[in-house]
Amino acid sequence: MDRRDFIRLVGGGGVAAAATTATVSCAPAGADPRAAWNNPGAGETDIRRKALSFAILAPNPHNMQPWMADLRTPGEVTLYVDRTRLLPVTDPFNRQIVIGFGGVLAYFQMALRQFGQAVEQTVFPDGEARPLLDDRPIARIRLLGDLQAPPDPLFTQLLSRRTDRGPYADKAVDAAAFANLLASPNVQGTLDPGRVERLKALVYEGARIESHTPAAHQESVERTFIGARDVAAHPWGISLDQPVMSAMNAAGILTKTRMATPGTTAFNESLKFLKTAADTARGFVWITTPGDSRLDQIAAGESYARLSLLAASHGLVMHPWSQGLQEYATQKPVYDALHKALAPDGGRIQMLARIGYPKARLRPAPRRGLAAQILRT
């Protein structure tokens, strides 16, 4: 690997983009931060725990995994948010965190259906927490037993789905597959070359603005872990633990301080990496809800989680670009431009992702593991 590739790999990509670009595997010191992906639920006799072992693999913002499950009442699961795992700068109203809960709920329901359980789900059973989440439950799920319905075909994609931040293959998205994706609730998209070019520029601009908004950029830097040891100790956030990253970290070239500092190689290369990623978008998909209630956000998360599994079933991968949809002041021009272009008749764009075929098979992102997410048994 020459120095150019080396630095490109290490660039980080708006901190996050390089996180999953290499398929090189390495054995981290200590616990395996990806253990949750190996045979989830094996050995669990409580069906709630078994299904939760799959639910925790859902896509979620910055991989913060803030879900906590209360299992005290037999046959019931109540989900709460761990408020130490929020994104106060880039997600000031917890909108993205709630979208993440929508994903977990979608996965949980899919797993329970797989195990023959009918369920009754109540979202925000004690009222919608606004403008910020509080200690009230996010959702309560009751298991009703004996489901007479076939398994959800998307369940088979749960273990293979990845968020792919790398460059995509030079291959057009199959039109029939794309039409299938657009039949999903709340989902729209485009493969039109002119619109795709415009969206590439807008998503990159959102990322560029974020990296030059110190508080927002710092929030990502603080949630980034570099090297196998650091990632094993923090199986959440953005993990840069390919061996090359560990080496660059040991050499002092790739550090959190450098990532946070404009002008350093780590900072500049990460933006270049994002530009390349945006430029290889083969299409875009977005999820819009009529309003921005907590229920809208949950629905958007369910839609995104299912969409990413459906994409996987067609061999496609996705990469959300949330910067331009965020609420902090410096994003307003991109936010407005995106809404004007993609939601001219109104509505809130909740997710926007590029789509394409992967160039490489990625390792899964770390997970904290079920034990860390049980509040009470």
Binding residues for ligand FMN, rule: CB under 6 A, are 16, 59-63, 96, 99-100, 103, 162-163, 165, 304, 319-323, 365
- What is the closest distance, in whole angstroms, from the C-beta atom of residue 277 to ligand FMN in the complex? 9
- What is the closest distance, in whole angstroms, from the C-beta atom of residue 204 to ligand FMN in the complex? 12
Residue with smaller CB distance to ligand FMN, 94 or 249: 94
Please state, in angstroms and as integers, the Cα–Cα distance from residue 152 to each residue in 54, 96, 108, 110, 212, following that order. Answer: 14, 25, 12, 6, 43
Identify the residue whose tokens are 């980080």: 12
Nearest Cα residue to 35 out of 66, 65, 56, 19: 56
Residue with smaller CB distance to ligand FMN, 78 or 163: 163
Residue with smaller CB distance to ligand FMN, 40 or 320: 320
CA 273/CA 266 separation, integer angstroms: 10
Identify the residue whose tokens are 């936010």: 335
- What is the closest distance, in whole angstroms, from the C-beta atom of residue 161 to ligand FMN in the complex? 7
Q: Are strands 67-70 and 374-376 parallel, antiparallel or unpaired?
A: parallel
Residue with smaller CB distance to ligand FMN, 47 or 341: 341
142 contacts 123 by C-beta, under 8 angstroms: no
Phi-psi group of 68: left, alpha or beta (phi > 0 → left; psi -120 to 50 → alpha; rest → beta): beta
CA 360/CA 358 separation, integer angstroms: 5
- What is the closest distance, in whole angstroms, from the C-beta atom of residue 72 to ligand FMN in the complex? 28
- What is the closest distance, in whole angstroms, from the C-beta atom of residue 59 to ligand FMN in the complex? 3
Residue with smaller CB distance to ligand FMN, 117 or 326: 326
- What is the closest distance, in whole angstroms, from the C-beta atom of residue 103 to ligand FMN in the complex? 6
321 contacts 354 by C-beta, under 8 angstroms: yes
Residue with smaller CB distance to ligand FMN, 69 or 307: 307
- What is the closest distance, in whole angstroms, from the C-beta atom of residue 33 to ligand FMN in the complex? 12
CA 285/CA 185 separation, integer angstroms: 12
Residue with smaller CB distance to ligand FMN, 60 or 117: 60
242 contacts 19 by C-beta, under 8 angstroms: no
Nearest Cα residue to 297 out of 157, 55, 131, 180: 131
Residue with smaller CB distance to ligand FMN, 62 or 368: 62
Residue with smaller CB distance to ligand FMN, 143 or 369: 369
- What is the closest distance, in whole angstroms, from the C-beta atom of residue 56 to ligand FMN in the complex? 10
Beta-carbon contacts of 106 under 8 Å, excluding residues fewer than 6 positions away, are 58, 301, 302, 305, 306
Nearest Cα residue to 13 out of 300, 217, 185: 217
Preceding omega of 131 cis (within 30 degrees of 0): yes
- What is the closest distance, in whole angstroms, from the C-beta atom of residue 116 to ligand FMN in the complex? 26
SS3 for 64-120 is CCCEEEECCCCCEEEEEECCCCCCCCCCCCCHHHHHHHHHHHHHHHHHHHHCCEEEE
Beta-carbon contacts of 44 under 8 Å, excluding residues fewer than 6 positions away, are 50, 53
